């Protein structure tokens, strides 16, 4: 027993992909939020440093501490005051500072922003500027740790709600995917619950557009399978029905030969009748198999129109030569009128079977001494085959029934099954030909015209 390797669940794969994409997008958004928040926070706090420095410059310009040799220490008024610091130098002498910095200048630069690492390992963001008289130097600084704390607080307020929303969003995605894939599960259950002989089409109501082509393809497959099953059943029934008569006749003749005893003439006659019955049964089987093959081809995915074109004149010459001995045996005249090659849609085997059936019917049902003629003509846009005979022909009501399975015209004495015309009509349909039956104006008997469109050059 062969083992089937099942792939991963479509629902699981889709959920995994969506959740992975959600996490990637979330992380990318968090990273971009962190970058943007840090930039905006630095801009805001740097502007505060610059503003504080400007206030100190203005205060110093108003003459405070000009004559004071002592350094003025500003008191700590807030718990976060230790995170900020400032220094004011006048003529190189420190005149004012915050108590959390030593007298050493906070930065080496005398103007602009810089990041400085102090001896205690702390990192400070420093803004330096000179006063209006250029003898005043002001430093305003802020610890980077405070900035990071503010940034973390901002990110927590923004990202934490989104982080808690992720499980809920994942649950909603799982529910949505499961709900939208429900038609696939229902279709699977429908197919698993169908009986082997159930070929009814699946319902197409309320199916998503993505699943609709699959169900339509399945319904088309069911229709083709039903057609094949019906054809096989019909073939079995036809074969059983038609073979019963020749088999019964062969059995009867065999019994006659068995009971003939010493009557050699009666035994020989019975054996000849037995052989004739065998020939009839063989011909019937050939016709049944041909018709079954044609019906099977009609449901296949490779139409006969894809076969290469066939030279109808060459097929007619070969078929006429093969049937000429039978015509001579009945003292019939078989003629072919084909002036030039004529291409028709293939395959060649079907064209040969069609022409052979038409000629066989014309020769068999025409009286001894009759004339049978084949015409092959090329016209603008189509190729025409005509088979005419000088027999009695058929009345109009009988012509309408030609092509029906096992139909034979009343009063026929020649052996046959009535399948030849069914084969001819089926081949004409398979090769995109038009079939017309009437009375021959030239010979007076039956006239059959088969017309094919001229194949496009390849």
Helix/strand/coil (H/E/C) assignment for every residue in 57-113: HHHHHCCCCCCCCCCEECCCCCCCHHHEEEEEEECCEEEEECCCCCCCCCCCCCCEE
Cβ pair 383, 377 in contact under 8 A: yes
Closest CA to 210 of 4, 5, 14: 14
Give me the DSSP letters along 362-418.
HHHHSPTT-EEEEEEEEETTEEEEEEEE-S----HHHHTTTTSTT---TT--S---S
The DSSP letter of residue 221 is: H
What's the rounded Cα separation, in Å, for the pair 304 and 307? Answer: 6
Strands 382-389 and 434-439, bridge-based pairing: unpaired
Neighbour-count burial of 227, counting CB atoms closer than 10 A to its CB (0-12 exposed, 13-18 middle, 19+ buried): middle
Cα dihedral 305→311→313→316 (10° resolution): -60
- Which of 372, 361, 370 shows the shortest CA–CA distance to 414? 361
Is 37 in contact with 151 (CB distance < 8 Å)?
yes
Chain centre to alpha carbon of residue 449: 42
pLDDT of the chain along its 458 residues, tens only? 444 455 566 777 788 888 888 888 888 888 887 887 777 777 767 766 666 766 666 666 555 544 545 555 555 444 555 677 888 888 788 888 777 778 888 888 878 888 888 877 788 888 888 877 777 888 888 878 777 877 787 777 777 787 888 888 888 888 888 887 777 777 778 777 777 777 778 777 777 777 778 888 888 888 888 877 776 776 666 666 556 656 777 777 777 777 777 777 877 787 787 787 787 677 667 766 766 666 666 555 444 545 678 888 998 998 888 888 888 888 989 999 888 888 888 777 778 888 888 888 888 888 888 899 999 988 878 889 999 888 876 666 555 545 444 444 444 444 444 566 777 887 888 788 888 888 888 888 888 899 988 765 55
CA distances from 344 to 227, 299, 305, 431, 455 (A): 28, 22, 10, 8, 6
- The beta-carbon contacts of 39-42 under 8 Å, at least 24 apart in sequence, are 41/147, 41/150, 41/151, 41/154, 42/125, 42/147
Structural domains of the chain ordered from first start:
11-167 (3.30.450), 229-298 (1.10.287.130), 304-453 (3.30.565.10)
Q: Which two tokens stand for residue 233?
A: 């059943």
The string over 308-331, giving b where at least 16 C-beta atoms fall within 10 Å of a residue's C-beta and e elsewhere, is ebbbbbebbeebbeebeeebeeee
Copy the structure tokens of residue 217: 């393809």
Does the predicted TM-score (pTM) go above 0.75? no
Burial of residue 171 (CB within 10 Å: 0-12, 13-18, 19+) is exposed
Of 217, 182, 219, 221, the C-alpha closest to 203 is: 219
């Amino acid at each position: 027993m062969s083992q089937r390797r099942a792939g991963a669940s479509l629902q699981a794969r889709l959920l995994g992909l969506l959740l992975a994409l959600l996490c990637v997008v979330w992380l990318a958004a968090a990273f971009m939020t962190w970058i943007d928040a840090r930039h905006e926070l630095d801009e805001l706090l740097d502007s505060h440093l610059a503003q504080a420095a400007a206030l100190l410059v203005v205060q110093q310009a108003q003459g405070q501490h000009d004559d004071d040799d002592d350094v003025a220490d500003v008191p700590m008024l807030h718990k976060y005051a230790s995170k900020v610091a400032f220094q004011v130098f006048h003529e190189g002498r420190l005149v004012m500072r915050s108590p959390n910095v030593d007298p050493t200048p906070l930065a080496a630069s005398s103007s602009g922003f810089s990041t400085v690492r102090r001896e205690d390992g702390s990192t400070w963001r420093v803004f330096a500027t000179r006063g209006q008289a250029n003898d005043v130097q002001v430093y305003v600084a802020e610890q980077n740790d405070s900035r990071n704390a503010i940034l973390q607080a901002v990110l927590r307020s923004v990202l934490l709600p989104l982080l808690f929303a992720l499980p809920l969003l994942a649950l909603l995605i799982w529910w949505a995917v499961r709900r939208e894939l429900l038609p696939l599960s229902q279709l699977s259950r429908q197919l698993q619950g169908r009986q082997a002989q159930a070929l009814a089409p699946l319902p197409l109501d309320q199916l998503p557009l993505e699943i609709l082509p699959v169900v339509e393809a399945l319904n088309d497959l069911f229709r083709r399978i039903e057609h094949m099953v019906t054809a096989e059943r019909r073939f079995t029934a036809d074969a059983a029905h038609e073979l019963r008569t020749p088999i019964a006749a062969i059995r009867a003749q065999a019994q006659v030969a068995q009971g003939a005893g010493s009557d050699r003439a009666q035994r020989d006659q019975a054996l000849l009748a037995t052989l004739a019955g065998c020939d009839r049964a063989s011909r019937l089987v050939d016709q049944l198999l041909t018709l079954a093959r044609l019906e099977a081809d009609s449901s296949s995915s490779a139409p006969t129109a894809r076969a290469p074109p066939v030279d109808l004149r060459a097929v007619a010459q070969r078929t006429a030569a093969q049937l000429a001995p039978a015509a001579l045996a009945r003292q019939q005249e078989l003629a072919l009128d084909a002036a030039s090659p004529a291409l028709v849609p293939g395959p060649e085997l079907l064209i040969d079977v069609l022409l052979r059936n038409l000629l066989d019917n014309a020769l068999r049902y025409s009286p001894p001494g009759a004339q049978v003629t084949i015409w092959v003509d090329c016209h603008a846009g189509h190729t025409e085959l005509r088979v005419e005979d000088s027999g009695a022909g058929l009345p109009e009501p009988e012509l309408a029934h030609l092509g029906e399975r096992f139909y034979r015209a009343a009063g026929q004495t020649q052996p046959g099954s009535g399948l030849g015309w069914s084969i001819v009509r089926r081949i004409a349909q398979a090769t995109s030909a038009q079939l017309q039956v009437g009375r021959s104006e030239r010979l007076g008997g039956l006239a059959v015209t088969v017309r094919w469109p001229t194949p496009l050059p390849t």
